[in-house]
Structure 1
Amino acid sequence: MDQVDRILAQWHQERPDLDVAPMGMFGRFGRLRSILSAELDKVFAAHGLNGASFDVLATLRRSGPPYALSPSSLIEWTMVTSGTMTNRLDKLEQAGLISREKNPEDGRGFVIALTEKGHALIDAAVTDHVANQHRLTKALSADEQAQLDALLRKWLAGMEADGS
């Protein structure tokens, strides 16, 4: 039994009329989220990053050559507001990890591009990040990981379809 099981047992005792099964899932998700976030943050911090800066650099890196995107594309991929993105970009530019360059397709706008320093940093960080993710999921077999991923995908698709 884990702590969530003990909490559910208390609810079963006090309110046997309620089906508290979802409470168990949400309790475990909350606990996992807390643990996993802390473990992911350790890897980001080891590279002088946080989750937000990692997200921007990783988005640029996975976009492929020339590793540059418009601010609106970055906002779309990272799902943050323009004000939040501007703050992130200012900090990354000050650190020399990105540059703002004229958009070659539209001289009025600009693109955000990885610098050589940013490219090297995100390559090292993402290598460690993926290794960390493997470490964090090793309690599940490959089949269990695939099953969990499929169930989470189904659940998320249902929630997104409902507009949640």
Structure 2
Amino acid sequence: MKRNQRTAPVPSGAAEDSEAWLATPESRAALEPRRKPYWHAVGTGRHLGYYKGARSASWHARLFIGSGRYEEILLGKADDSSGADGHSVLDFSQAVARSHDWWSGKGRGVSAGEADPLGNGRRPKKRVQTDRLDEVALAWARERPDLDLSLVGLFMRIKQAHFMHERRLAAISEAVGVDSGELHVLLALRRVGAPYAMRPTDLFRALLVTSGAVSKRIDRLERAALVARIDDNEDLRSAQIVLTERGVELADAAIAHVAAGLATLREAIGMSDAEFSEADAYLRRILAEMG
């Protein structure tokens, strides 16, 4: 690298084109905190970045996209003050691997047989994408590096995933002739098994909506002959909501569409059963602590 192209100072003892000045927490200690990352050029248009704030440090990657502009992504926290876990806290080699995942997804990674300047030597299985949520994380990391806001990004992604799942359900609902709220009622009744009956109070508790909302959905489904009200012999003040034969058929068709969509998504993601189980376990721990 030419001297006038350097994007960060090289501490004493490090080679001019070496990554040694970023490789360890001890070598990075020589760098002064500042508002922009220290960038190390890995290849043409590709940089690994180390941001050092007053109280925290993080890894970044960027890609030159033309006209003097770069696309940037936050990779994770740096292991300056806590041990790397390979997920939210990364050491240098883990940051390198994650940056190559992202660059390869952008079509600028290491191709088969090409030497990797940082010794990575592999292509990722799946693309790591940047989006507007990364921009939020980058903004807060720079504006308030003293605060740990890493979980905010996680919750925003959970919310976005839920929104996208509900949007898929809305499309399935439209295809089978009901709205998404009504479909949730049909699926709740179908999954309890024959005779596919629940009390209205059990329905609104299961669906986490108000009793009034459930009543309106039941009324519409009853008019469509998808459910029926049957008196409860054990409680004359209440009635059971039961799927009709047509309601069972519609619920089965809808859940088959859901399963097909999830299978396609799962294949596209490329995660193993063990990885899905691990992700589920982490979410369970988060929900247990929040509850």
Q: TM-score range by the shorter chain?
A: 0.7 to 0.9
Spell out the pairing of 1:119-130 with structure 2 (5 A cutoff): 119-130=248-259
The 1:31/1:68 distance shift into structure 2, 3 A limit, reads closer
The 1:106/1:11 distance shift into structure 2, 3 A limit, reads closer
Is the CA contact 1:52–1:88 (under 8 Å) kept in the aligned structure 2?
A: yes
Is the CA contact 1:61–1:114 (under 8 Å) kept in the aligned structure 2?
A: yes
Q: Deviations over 1:50-102 (max 9, x none)?
A: 33212111111111221112222222222222211111110111111001111
**Which residue number corresponds to residue 53 of structure 1?**
182
Spell out the pairing of 1:81-100 with structure 2 (5 A cutoff): 81-100=210-229
**Which residue number corresponds to residue 155 of structure 1?**
286
Q: Is residue 2:205 matched to residue 1:79?
A: no
One-letter amino acid matched to 1:159: M
Q: Percent identity?
A: 37
| Higher fraction of strand | 2
- How many residue pairs get aligned? The number is 160
Alpha-carbon RMSD across the aligned residues, in angstroms, is 1.9
TM, length-normalised to structure 2: 0.51
The 1:5/1:150 distance shift into structure 2, 3 A limit, reads same
**Which residue number corresponds to residue 66 of structure 1?**
195
**Which residue number corresponds to residue 27 of structure 1?**
156
One-letter amino acid matched to 1:132: G
One-letter amino acid matched to 1:5: D
**Which of structures 1 and 2 has the larger relative contact order (alpha carbons within 8 angstroms, sep 6+)?**
1
TM, length-normalised to structure 1: 0.85
Segments of structure 2 that go 5 or more residues without pairing to the other structure are 1-72, 74-129
Distance 2:287 2:194 in 1: 31
Segment drifting more, 125-134 vs 34-43 = 34-43
Segment drifting more, 139-148 vs 30-39 = 30-39
| Higher fraction of helix | 1
One-letter amino acid matched to 1:101: I
Q: Deviations over 1:14-52 (max 9, x none)?
A: 332222212321332233233232223212221123332
The 1:50/1:17 distance shift into structure 2, 3 A limit, reads same
Is the CA contact 1:75–1:85 (under 8 Å) kept in the aligned structure 2?
A: yes
**Which residue number corresponds to residue 105 of structure 1?**
234
The 1:26/1:64 distance shift into structure 2, 3 A limit, reads closer
